[in-house]
A and B are shown apart, each in its own frame.
Chain A
């Protein structure tokens, strides 16, 4: 992917740029808001990473201006600690996702993968599947190797979220946001417990693991 990073803090900027380059992306790093807006307008990018606080033109105005010119490039917003309103304001300005600094690189990478070049989620699939696992969305029936698996509503939602994003890493934070609507740090690793319960029903009895743990990032269900 071609990624534009607009971040004025040198350490954070190079951390993001270097990491993304290592993952095989092509990265342009800009350190001021005004320059960033120019670059975003003339270049064609798959994803932009924009810091909330920038000298010259702040990130919020930058995204608003960009959206006003009908530029729909997916934007990941970086916000500082303590901003209760930043998430809502950022999303309102037209950002696609947000991340609070400091963050682990795995989190950034997973979120960029989620918003960039988004392969359209199939609008209304009736079934979701991975290998021998099948999920009937209307009858809410889950089977693996033909065997029915009983899931609690929230386990169903968790599995559905992973299946819909097959092949893409979902971080713990992303899962909390999507499944429990929790957009803050609840200071607990309870997502891991939920995943291990799900595994006990979906993976363990069948001897092969569909739900993979991605070290330093999160969880993923692989294609076939």
Chain B
């Protein structure tokens, strides 16, 4: 996983949808909850207020000042200050009250700590107070807001024990579902990119036993790949059939031409024609040999024969073999080879692969004057690189040049049969090695990474079966 992973996660559609859904769910739930709280609170407030007003109205209905005083004293004595505080401040005379000092207020207000005498432990936490002019004094009636506070606490408790866990569970489940969906989408994505990358046998794996849309897409991808694979197989079969059918006649033509050269007295002109015919026949034979060999390698029968081979030694031999050719062309061919670099392989095919790559570089990268061959070996496997400083291959053409008989427009005039890199690709496939054509800026760099040998990596390790890890 690279630093790009978080970005990829944000771009994941199921995850994004889940986050949006969760946000809507959380907001809606909180909204409902808040509305319910406010409604209940407003109702409670209204009830308290009407209680207070009723009380005030009761006192106001008494017109006789003495009776009013008497009733106030009586009320102050019988009213529990925890529930209701009474405070009458006449213009003259003593204060009538059932609790300590109450701060000067006017109209309707909420009494809190600073307005109350906190030494009186019978008082509730907060009160709703109504202050009004009554007779020849100021009456303050305050009723406890405990029900409202308690109601708030209940709502808070419900929020903590019910709603928060519900949201947490929703978030967890949402992410889990999103992850599962993302995983399946990635699975499809990976299969698709492998298929388009040339591994036509790759498939979406989790399509069985489900009938949802993702499985449908996966199945469609698989069907498409299978159809393409069948098409390629039949194309290969046809070309291989043609090659097999023409093998014997070509061989006879070659034999007949040889006999003609060996056994006939010919004029100079006739002999020249004959030699040209022989040359062309040899070309046909080489192309056929290469096509048939490709078909056989792709058939995979050779895979059973793979044994530990020191790629370093193979490459050294090949470089040694071709170096004089490079020198004759004024090219510098250098080899930087780490030994040992053991891979499970076929020595001859690996040798042929190296020859093809170097010859390809000599043919198409000659302008650069330098061809560098490297073999490296570490824990992640053995890598072979062949780099030139020539014109390179345009990105769009890189897959094409690995196809048989495909040649770049500018290469049509050079020698070669268009099968060299196809053979390289086939041999890589056989060895389950990863082949990449890259930009050497300028030039082409071909990089082949072989999978690590299963078990011991040393030279002379016992023969391995086909390497099956991907």
Chain A residues packing against B (C-beta within 8 Å): 9, 11-12, 15, 18-19, 80-85, 88, 100-102, 104-105, 154, 176, 180-188, 190, 193-194, 197
Interface of B is mostly: helix
Task: Kindly report which residue of chain A lies nearest to residue B257, judged by CB atoms.
Answer: A102
Whether B324 contacts A84 by the Cβ 8 Å rule is no
**15 contacting pairs across A/B (C-beta < 8 A):** A12-B251, A19-B262, A82-B247, A82-B288, A82-B292, A83-B292, A83-B296, A84-B297, A84-B301, A102-B254, A180-B317, A180-B321, A183-B348, A187-B286, A194-B321
Most chain A CB within 10 A, of B295, B324, B328, is at B324
Known: A84-B302, A104-B258, A184-B348. 19 other contacts (CB 8 A): A15-B255, A15-B258, A19-B262, A80-B251, A81-B247, A82-B292, A82-B295, A84-B297, A84-B301, A105-B262, A180-B317, A181-B347, A181-B351, A182-B317, A182-B348, A186-B321, A190-B322, A190-B325, A194-B321
Whether A88 contacts B258 by the Cβ 8 Å rule is no
Whether A15 contacts B302 by the Cβ 8 Å rule is no
Whether A9 contacts B347 by the Cβ 8 Å rule is no
Whether B248 contacts A188 by the Cβ 8 Å rule is no
Chain A residues whose C-beta falls within 8 Å of the C-beta of B318 in the assembled complex: 180
Whether A185 contacts B325 by the Cβ 8 Å rule is no
Q: Does B22 contact A (CB under 8 A)?
A: no
Chain B residues whose C-beta falls within 8 Å of the C-beta of A154 in the assembled complex: 320
Chain A residues whose C-beta falls within 8 Å of the C-beta of B247 in the assembled complex: 80-82
Whether A180 contacts B285 by the Cβ 8 Å rule is no
**Alpha-carbon distance between A80 and B243 when the two chains are bound, in angstroms:** 12
Q: Does B4 contact A (CB under 8 A)?
A: no
Task: Kindly report which residue of chain B lies nearest to residue A154, judged by CB atoms.
Answer: B320
Whether A81 contacts B324 by the Cβ 8 Å rule is no
Across the interface, B292 reaches (CB within 8 A) one of A18, A81, A105, A190, namely A81
**Alpha-carbon distance between A28 and B21 when the two chains are bound, in angstroms:** 89
Interchain nearest-CB distance for B363 vs A (Å):
10
Those of B211-263 within 8 Å (CB) of chain A:
243-244, 247-248, 250-252, 254-256, 258-259, 262
**Alpha-carbon distance between A197 and B321 when the two chains are bound, in angstroms:** 12
Q: Does B9 contact A (CB under 8 A)?
A: no
**Alpha-carbon distance between A80 and B244 when the two chains are bound, in angstroms:** 10
Interchain nearest-CB distance for B306 vs A (Å):
12
**Alpha-carbon distance between A40 and B352 when the two chains are bound, in angstroms:** 36
Chain B residues packing against A (C-beta within 8 Å): 243-244, 247-248, 250-252, 254-256, 258-259, 262, 281, 285-286, 288-289, 291-293, 295-297, 301-302, 305, 317-318, 320-322, 324-325, 328, 347-349, 351-352, 355, 359
**Alpha-carbon distance between A183 and B292 when the two chains are bound, in angstroms:** 16
Interchain nearest-CB distance for B402 vs A (Å):
18
**Alpha-carbon distance between A83 and B291 when the two chains are bound, in angstroms:** 11
Whether A102 contacts B351 by the Cβ 8 Å rule is no
Whether A84 contacts B293 by the Cβ 8 Å rule is yes
Chain B residues whose C-beta falls within 8 Å of the C-beta of A88 in the assembled complex: 305
**Alpha-carbon distance between A81 and B294 when the two chains are bound, in angstroms:** 11
Most chain B CB within 10 A, of A81, A176, A184, is at A81
**Alpha-carbon distance between A130 and B295 when the two chains are bound, in angstroms:** 46
Task: Kindly report which residue of chain B lies nearest to residue A192, judged by CB atoms.
Answer: B324
Chain B residues whose C-beta falls within 8 Å of the C-beta of A102 in the assembled complex: 250-251, 254-255, 258, 281, 285
Across the interface, B252 reaches (CB within 8 A) one of A9, A104, A176, A184, namely A9
Whether A194 contacts B347 by the Cβ 8 Å rule is no
Whether B259 contacts A15 by the Cβ 8 Å rule is yes
Task: Kindly report which residue of chain A lies nearest to residue B416, judged by CB atoms.
Answer: A187
Interchain nearest-CB distance for A132 vs B (Å):
26
Chain B residues whose C-beta falls within 8 Å of the C-beta of A80 in the assembled complex: 247, 251
**Alpha-carbon distance between A144 and B255 when the two chains are bound, in angstroms:** 42
Chain A residues whose C-beta falls within 8 Å of the C-beta of B288 in the assembled complex: 81-82
Whether A84 contacts B296 by the Cβ 8 Å rule is yes
**Alpha-carbon distance between A88 and B296 when the two chains are bound, in angstroms:** 14
Whether A188 contacts B359 by the Cβ 8 Å rule is yes
Contact of A101 with B320 at beta-carbon distance under 8 Å, contacts A82-B289, A83-B296 already known: no
Across the interface, B352 reaches (CB within 8 A) one of A18, A82, A184, A197, namely A184
Task: Kindly report which residue of chain B lies nearest to residue A152, judged by CB atoms.
Answer: B320
Across the interface, B324 reaches (CB within 8 A) one of A184, A186, A194, namely A194
Whether A197 contacts B305 by the Cβ 8 Å rule is no
Across the interface, B289 reaches (CB within 8 A) one of A85, A100, A180, namely A100
**Alpha-carbon distance between A151 and B321 when the two chains are bound, in angstroms:** 15
Task: Kindly report which residue of chain B lies nearest to residue A189, judged by CB atoms.
Answer: B325
Sort A-B residue pairs by CB-CB distance and give the 6 closest, nearest first. A82-B292, A102-B254, A193-B324, A102-B251, A81-B289, A15-B255
Chain B residues whose C-beta falls within 8 Å of the C-beta of A11 in the assembled complex: 252, 255-256
Whether B322 contacts A188 by the Cβ 8 Å rule is yes
**Alpha-carbon distance between A193 and B323 when the two chains are bound, in angstroms:** 10
Chain A residues whose C-beta falls within 8 Å of the C-beta of B305 in the assembled complex: 85, 88
Chain B residues whose C-beta falls within 8 Å of the C-beta of A188 in the assembled complex: 322, 325, 359
Contact of A81 with B252 at beta-carbon distance under 8 Å, contacts A186-B321, A186-B355 already known: no
Interchain nearest-CB distance for A71 vs B (Å):
28
Chain A residues whose C-beta falls within 8 Å of the C-beta of B289 in the assembled complex: 81-82, 100, 185
Whether B259 contacts A82 by the Cβ 8 Å rule is no
Interchain nearest-CB distance for B425 vs A (Å):
16
Interchain nearest-CB distance for A77 vs B (Å):
15
Task: Kindly report which residue of chain A lies nearest to residue B348, judged by CB atoms.
Answer: A183
